């Protein structure tokens, strides 16, 4: 290779390196990813519980209705905690457009996974589907110690 051809590659490498350094890293931490995913699960679950109570609970003393009301109250508390954590991040100027997009994608995936789990064929165990295992993991309070109370 001639000496002159190296002169073109050095500025190109420097330009690429400086562009890479100038761009902020756009990723979600594991906590942000979990909170975003579970916010999607929570939103879909709240909608589902609300529809069930509205449509099927003329007698609110039925066992299923009492359980649905209890689940709704717990889900609303978790929803507030998730958004108390996510809202400041999404509003922050340090949280880039790509991070917001990744967060929204995680939320959509969470909602889709919850819906897919609920629509699984009769007789199929929830543990058999990865979508169910992941979305049901959002119901485990111990995973959310990092959220504000």
pLDDT in tens, 5-48: 544 454 444 544 444 444 455 678 899 999 999 999 999 999 99
What average pLDDT does this structure show over 116-143?
Answer: 88
**Has residue 54 been placed in a domain?**
yes
Which residue in this structure is represented by tokens 């051809």? 5
* 3-state secondary structure at position 16: helix
Which residue in this structure is represented by tokens 């350094």? 21
Number of compact structural domains in the chain: 1
**Has residue 14 been placed in a domain?**
no
Q: Is 83 exposed, middle or buried (0-12, 13-18, 19+ CB in 10 A)?
A: middle
**Has residue 10 been placed in a domain?**
no
- Cβ–Cβ contacts within 10 Å for residue 19, how many? 9
Could you tell me which residue, 128 or 139, shows the higher pLDDT?
A: 139
Domain of 37, in residue numbers: 28-144
**Has residue 17 been placed in a domain?**
no
CB 116, CB 124: distance < 8 Å: no
**pLDDT tens for each residue of 44-102:** 999 999 999 999 988 878 899 999 999 999 999 999 999 999 998 888 888 888 888 89
**Has residue 44 been placed in a domain?**
yes
**Has residue 107 been placed in a domain?**
yes
Q: What is the largest CA-CA distance in the chain?
A: 87
**Has residue 4 been placed in a domain?**
no
What pLDDT, on the 0 to 100 scale, is given for residue 5? 53
**Has residue 117 been placed in a domain?**
yes
Reported confidence tier of residue 4, pLDDT bands at 50, 70, 90? low
- CA dist 144 and 134 (Å) reads 14
Q: What is the Cα Rg of the chain in Å? A: 23
- Given a cut of 80, whether residue 3 has pLDDT beyond it is no
**Residues of the chain above pLDDT 70, percent:** 83
What average pLDDT does this structure show over 130-137?
Answer: 90
Strands (E), 12-103: none
What pLDDT, on the 0 to 100 scale, is given for residue 149? 84
């Amino acid at each position: 290779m001639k000496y002159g051809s190296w002169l073109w590659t050095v500025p190109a490498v420097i330009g690429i390196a400086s562009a890479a350094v100038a761009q902020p890293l756009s990723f979600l931490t594991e906590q942000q990813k979990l909170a975003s995913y579970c916010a999607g699960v929570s939103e879909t679950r709240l909608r589902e519980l609300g529809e069930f109570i509205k449509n099927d609970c003329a007698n609110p003393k039925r066992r299923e209705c009492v359980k649905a009301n209890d689940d709704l109250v717990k889900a609303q508390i978790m929803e507030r905690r998730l958004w108390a954590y996510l809202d400041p991040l999404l509003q922050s100027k340090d949280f880039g457009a790509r991070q917001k997009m990744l967060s929204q994608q995680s939320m959509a995936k969470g909602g889709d996974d919850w819906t897919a789990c609920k629509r699984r064929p009769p007789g199929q165990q929830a543990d058999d589907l990865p979508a169910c295992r992941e979305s049901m993991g959002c119901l485990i309070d111990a995973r959310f110690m990092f959220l504000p109370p």
